[in-house]
Structure 1
Amino acid sequence: MNKPFSQATRADIRLAGATTLGGSAGNAASLLQIVLERRFAGDWESVERLCLPHFVHNPGDVEIAWQLACAQWRRHDPVSAERTMRIADAAIPGNANVAAALAQFVAEQGRYGAARRLYERALKLVPSATTPAVDLAELELRKGDWHRGWARYEARLARTDRAHNSVVSIMSRVAPRWNGQRLEGRTLLVFSEQGNGDDIQMMRFIPALAARVRDEGGQMVLACRRSLHPLFARHYQTCIEIETGAYALHGKPDYCLPMMSVPFALRLKPGQVDGKRYLSADSSRAAAWKSHVRERTPRTEALQIGLVWRGDPAHRRDAQRSMTLAQLAPIFALPGVVFHPLTPAGPPLPASLPHCDLTGDYRYGFDDVAAHVSALDAVVTIDSAPLHLGGALGVPVYAMLDHVSQWAWGTAEEQRWYDSVTLFRQPRPGDWRPVVERIAAALESMNAMREHATRR
């Protein structure tokens, strides 16, 4: 998912409950401190170099094993990460955290059957563990087992390490969680829980849930983050900005429901999802952005292509989904294309590349992004919020997926969520070249069709 680090289902810094065997405890603690400093700096090569000698002599130090495996995974080597955790697992059998970590790195290779068995083993060891339960739920959702997947995904809400000021903690103090109680005469508050992309993806189900609440004689209020409010409020009017804390604006809430629980509340099945557009840009803002693009682009006759190549570095899987500019070289070599970055405050595109950065003109959050995207010919993006936004708007999207990616994109290059989205998946972890070359060919074809239509 597009979830920020603070809301990740796994504590991606330390392996909770890890056990250390062998070696000096003081030396191990000192090493771990240095390792964590390098980790926070994003220096994964140093993390691997520091951990490996200690791990060779102390395979039972599963905390160092976890740090080593994470470094290997972040460097696009899940095979080595799996090997590291298997050694730790042999040294300390029966550790549920190690089994869950091992399952993660097996899943990162696309070996979902083996990963499932490892997650189930971890849950057998500690039935109340949330990390393997949530990871297994995402695996079930990926494979289309939504009956079990959505129910199991509720385990994320049972985490005990959630910060006091996290949105789920705050909402638990506003009103009790809704578990299907009758809503006659009552108010249900549905709230933003995870990333912007998750909210956009789940927004399609808000009308169906609201209709059910109305049929029961209740009312539903949507509390979304400020950046999404203008876009969402146009499609569901009983909508507030979650940051204001004005949860009782439409009546004191009787129950709360996190947005990622809406499919579970609806008992959603895969066949009930279609790819039709369900959001739209504000018409006047879209017209203004169309003129803005035409006035600011260096080449009006060229394809105008939205581009996202980097995500939030705090995201659990950002090392897998984000790209460098050098990896986009085949796309940048295309003639007749102007690129429009879609993420504010991101790294700049080179001056030699035809591009038009209008992100400094965003004033209304995703409502401006929606209008901007609607004025373009297509969007090329990694697995991030603009992918979901483009799909929800019905804009052509070429999605550059890492080998595994978010659960919603399944296991191949087919998806049910958005008719306008085409998936391009890495054939192996870290291998972006085939993806970029195929998208370059698609853009070249789009340009040729455009030129042919112009000549007619």
Structure 2
Amino acid sequence: MSETNPSDAPSPSDPSSPDAAFAQAAELQRTGAYPEAADAFRRLARETLTLNVATNLGACLIETAEFDEAEHWLLTAARHRPTEPVLRRLLGNLYVEMGQMERAEVEYRTGLAFRPQDAGCELALAGLLLSLGRYAEGWPLQEARAGLNPGVVPPVEVSFPEWQGEPLDGRSILVWYEQGLGDQIQMCRFAQELKARGAAHVALGCRPVLADLLATAPGVDEIVPAPRGETVRIRDYDVWSRYFSLPARLGTTLQTLPTAPYLSARPDRRARWSGASGVGIAWRASPTGFNARNKNVPDDLARRLLDLGATSLHPEDTGVADFADTAAIIERLDLVISIDTSVAHLAGAMGKPCWTLLPRLHCDWRWLRERTDSPWYPSMRLYRQTEVGDWTRVIDEVARDLQARSAA
């Protein structure tokens, strides 16, 4: 095997390589055409096997759920570069998907042993530990996220210090936005915890589409809208934090999660959506969101639930202007059925019964492992894929339960 530096999949590049075939395969991988990319890398492996080819092929095969072959290529690469954290992280990711959590943890920690504070390994290990309910260990490692993707976790440039968990008695705190809309809905629950710690003023930064909704959360004194692509001028507060830094600073565990409903419909929106009733469904994720390719339920399968009387909760179908409107609709529903997206978080945050449909591949840490309930949202029931990409069996189960519910 030729010695070249492994790429950092799943968005690999090899600009120094003259091999046009490699560049084409890498582009297929970058755009999410994983089966085609895997075939292209296989052809390259038969001709000239390099560390990059083996690494990228293994990464693609994780995405196509060809786990045994992925393990072969990643172990082949790791034998030639055993100290490379990227390879250790990819092996850890593979073992997570194979359900081999102890082996995954070993790989992540091995990568960190070779390169302490490697952000990719730290964040991957955080996700594993959180998915196992080991919150005290996992939350601090989540801090690695800040430097990995500034487009998702934007830098904060202010004159006042970041809050490290010290007493807040009489002080003001700004919690700045990060990640997706559902993430902000999930984490705004901690505003009331900040007030319980003595904060005199709690301000939440968020996208404008969330502003009126998050203003209903207990403990929130101020909303700071942050339009996409714009610089926001921030007044002075005593300290600042990010949404996903709060659980670590607050010492949150599974046992101490605040679980009471914490978001509600605004009175001025209720009349506008007074005709909503029954069951609402959301089956499509934002195409730019995490794991959208695996989260989405095909339209023909969603149609089965629509034919049973469910109505779409997607904005293009409801005509809502923002999440405060969606909350007013959800308040009047009996049940929400949703994939892992912001609608599920909103229903859970409102205490509305919600059936959440989860993918087998890259299932998010917050849903833990193999549970049908969620400690974050007591009103939620989880339906999990048992085979990668197989939504048919999930929808079969949901349809049976929906029919039984209607007949009761």
2:241 aligns to what SS in structure 1? strand
Specify the alignment match of 1:367 in structure 2.
324
Q: Which of residues 237, 241, 247 is equivalent to 2:234?
A: 247
Match of 1:339 among 308, 311, 320: 311
Q: Is contact 2:168-2:197 (8 Å) kept?
A: no
Identity in percent: 27
The 5 A counterparts of 1:267-282 are 267-282=251-266
Match of 1:311 in 2: 285
In 2, Cα distance between equivalents of 1:92 and 1:82 = 15
Contact 2:143–2:245 under 8 Å retained in 1: yes
> 2:389 and 2:65 mapped to 1: Cα distance?
5
1:26-65 equivalent positions in 2, closer than 5 A:
26-27=18-19, 30-62=20-52, 64-65=53-54
In structure 2, list runs of 5 or more residues that go unmatched. 1-7
8 Å contact 2:22–2:44 — kept in the other structure? no
Query: Offset of 1:400 from its aligned partner?
Result: 0.8
Tell me how far 1:282 sits from its aligned partner.
1.2
Deviations 1:311-357 (A, max 9, x none): 122334222222212344653554xx1421x2335xxxxxxxxxxx2
Aligned position for 1:324: 298
Q: Report if the CA contact (8 A) 2:210-2:324 is conserved.
A: yes
Q: Are the aligned partners of 1:191 and 1:242 in contact in 2 as well (CA < 8 Å)?
A: no
Q: Distance in 1 between matches of 2:314 and 2:57?
A: 32
> What SS does the corresponding residue of 1:54 show, helix, strand or coil?
helix
Residues 223 and 240 in structure 1, CA contact (< 8 A), matched pair in contact too:
yes
Question: 1:306·1:380 contact (CA, 8 Å) conserved in 2?
Answer: yes
Distance 1:377 1:225, change over 3 A: same
With structure 1 as the length reference, what TM-score do the two structures score? 0.79
Contact 2:152–2:179 (8 Å) recurs in 1 = no
Q: 1:223 to 1:238 in 2, by over 3 A?
A: same
Aligned with residue 353 of structure 2, among 381, 396, 410: 396
Tell me the distance in 2 between the aligned counterparts of 1:79 and 1:196. Answer: 35
Partner Cα distance (1:208, 1:186) in 2: 14
Structure with the greater relative contact order (CA < 8 A, sep ≥ 6): 1 or 2? 1
Partner of 2:244: 260
Contact 1:172 1:256 survives alignment (8 Å): no
Q: Which residue of 2 aligns with 1:351?
A: none
- Contact between 2:10 and 2:29, CA under 8 Å: does it hold in 1? no
Structure 1: 5+ residue runs without aligned partners?
1-9, 295-303, 346-356, 450-456
- Residues in 2 aligned to 1:91 and 1:344: alpha-carbon distance in whole angstroms: 51
Correspondence for 2:207: 225
* Partner-residue secondary structure (3-state), 1:285: helix
Measured against aligned partners, the alpha-carbon deviations of 1:234-254 in whole angstroms (never above 9, x if no partner) come to 332322213372421xxx123
How big is the alpha-carbon RMSD for the aligned residues of Structure 1 and Structure 2?
2.6
Tell me by how many angstroms 1:424 deviates. Answer: 0.7
- Per the TM alignment, residue 185 of structure 1 is displaced from its structure 2 partner at its CA by 6.1
Q: Does 1:212 align with 2:197?
A: yes
Aligned-partner SS, 1:51: helix
Equivalent position amino acid for 1:13 in 2: S
TM-score, normalising length: structure 2: 0.88
Deviations 1:28-82 (A, max 9, x none): xx233322433454433321221111124444332x3343334333334344333
SS state of the match for residue 381, structure 1? strand
Change in 2 beyond 3 A, CA 1:41/1:150: closer
2:185 to 183, 200, 205: 200
Describe the SS at the equivalent of 1:270: coil
User: How many angstroms apart in 2 are the aligned matches of 1:189 and 1:274?
Assistant: 20
**Amino acid in structure 1 at the alignment position of 2:162:** R
In 2, are the aligned partners of 1:381 and 1:399 still within 8 Å (CA)? yes
SS in 2 for 1:100: helix
Q: Compared with structure 1, are the counterparts of its residues 387 and 362 closer, same or farther at alpha carbon in structure 2 (3 Å cutoff)?
A: same
- Counterpart Cα distance in 1 of 2:183 and 2:80: 39
**Of 93, 110, 128, the match for 2:82:** 93
Instruction: Tell me, in whole angstroms, the C-alpha distance in 2 between the residues paired with 1:444 and 1:368.
Output: 28
Give the Cα–Cα distance (whole angstroms) in 2 for the partners of residues 433 and 325 of structure 1: 12
Return the offset for 1:166. Answer: 6.4
What's 1:417 paired with?
Answer: 376
Mapped to 2, the partners of 1:448 and 1:183 lie a distance apart of 52
Residue identity in the other structure for 1:396: P
- Alpha-carbon distance in structure 1 between the residues aligned to 2:73 and 2:290: 20
**Structure 1 residue runs of 4 or more that deviate by more than 6 Å after TM superposition:** none
Residue 131 of structure 1 pairs with residue 120 of structure 2: yes
2:360 corresponds to 1:405: no
